[in-house]
Amino acid sequence: MFRRFSLAALAVLCFIVAPNNSSAASLTASSTVSLTAPPAQVGLEGMLDNPTLLLAVTAGIVLALVIGGGIVFALIAALGTRFFSSNVPAPDKLAAFNAQQNAALDAERSHPRKIVISPTMEPFVIAIGGFAVVFLLASAFVTVPPPKEASGAEGSATPVAAGLPTTGDFTKIVSELPAGNADKGVKLFTTQACSGCHSVQKDQRLVGPSFYGLWSRAGTQVPGMGAKEYLYQSIVNPNAHVVEGYQSGLMPPTFSKTLSPQDMADILAYIERDHNEK
């Protein structure tokens, strides 16, 4: 095939170089007319003026590019074939490798691995493990500051309730209470949920007795016990003396643990000031 392309290219070039009969005749005639006529232009301008010459040159360039490209492509293909043929394992080595892989697969099928965690349980195990890691890191690096002591209205720390005595000499116990603040007692009446069970209106009954005139009634409930002692005992031990018309167990017996001596003094001062019949 390469020989055919070479013969074709040689024929085209001979056609270009061979003089044309008409051109020779015209050149002879012109020479007889004038021996001083200028020679014909055979440079670039002459080639552009001759369509046949321009076509032949173009065809020669295209033919040279095609032939050259074919040669380059053939060389690249030959080099690639040589490279891959030199790097491909020999048939015996390839057969040995395949046999080794097949033996490994057969061994795995004959001795399957024991599945500890099923695929459906993997997300839950991962989630629990992640939570445990985060919890351990938080426990190791995050410290919780100690709770601050609550401050009173004057900025002093409110004493924590250490427990009020529920039995004993109540006269001595109430005498040892600090001075009470009736205004603070009003707030404690709401914050300690007293207002939910005790009304402050006359003859209005909720769960327990009304606070209206409570200080005056408290001094007459138990012989030998004043209003302050009776109210103290009724708060820390509400089932000690149950008022007629009411049943025991209505008032929680936990105020002895939640109220401080100052809280008790403030509540008693509030009852004495605002609920003492005149």
Q: Indicate if the pLDDT at residue 275 is higher than 80.
A: yes
What local confidence, expressed as pLDDT, does residue 152 receive? 43
Q: What average pLDDT does this structure show over 234-241?
A: 91
- Bridge partners for 151 per DSSP: 157
Task: Output the six-digit token pair for 193.
Answer: 């949920």
The residue with greater pLDDT, 223 or 7, is 223
Residue 157 gets which letter from DSSP?
B
Q: What is the pLDDT of residues 44-89, one digit of tens each?
A: 566 667 778 888 888 889 999 999 988 998 899 888 888 877 777 7
Give the pLDDT of residue 9: 52
Residue 129 has phi, psi (to 5 degrees) of: -65, -40
**Comparing 143 with 122, which gets the higher pLDDT?**
122
CA dist 103 and 110 (Å) reads 11
What tokens does 142 get? 């995050």
Residue 34 has pLDDT above 80, yes or no: no
Question: Which tens digit of pLDDT belongs to each residue from 182-231?
Answer: 999 999 999 998 988 998 888 888 888 889 888 988 888 888 899 999 99
pLDDT for res 157: 45
DSSP SS3 for 35: coil
Q: What distance, in Å, lies between the first and last C-alpha atoms of the chain?
A: 137
State the pLDDT at residue 143.
60
Burial (0-12, 13-18, 19+ Cβ within 10 Å), 265 = buried
For 168, left (φ over 0), alpha (ψ -120 to 50), or beta? left
Sign of the dihedral through C-alpha 86, 92, 93, 98:
positive
> Across residues 81-107, what is the average pLDDT?
79
The answer to whether the CB of 59 falls within 8 A of the CB of 12 is: yes
pLDDT for residue 235: 94
pLDDT (mean) for 79-108: 80
- Angstrom distance (rounded) from CA 250 to CA 190: 18
| Cβ atoms of residues 232 and 264 within 8 Å | yes
Confidence band of 27 (pLDDT split at 50, 70, 90): very low
What tens digit of pLDDT does each residue of 127-181 get?
888 888 887 887 776 665 655 544 444 444 444 445 799 998 999 999 999 999 9
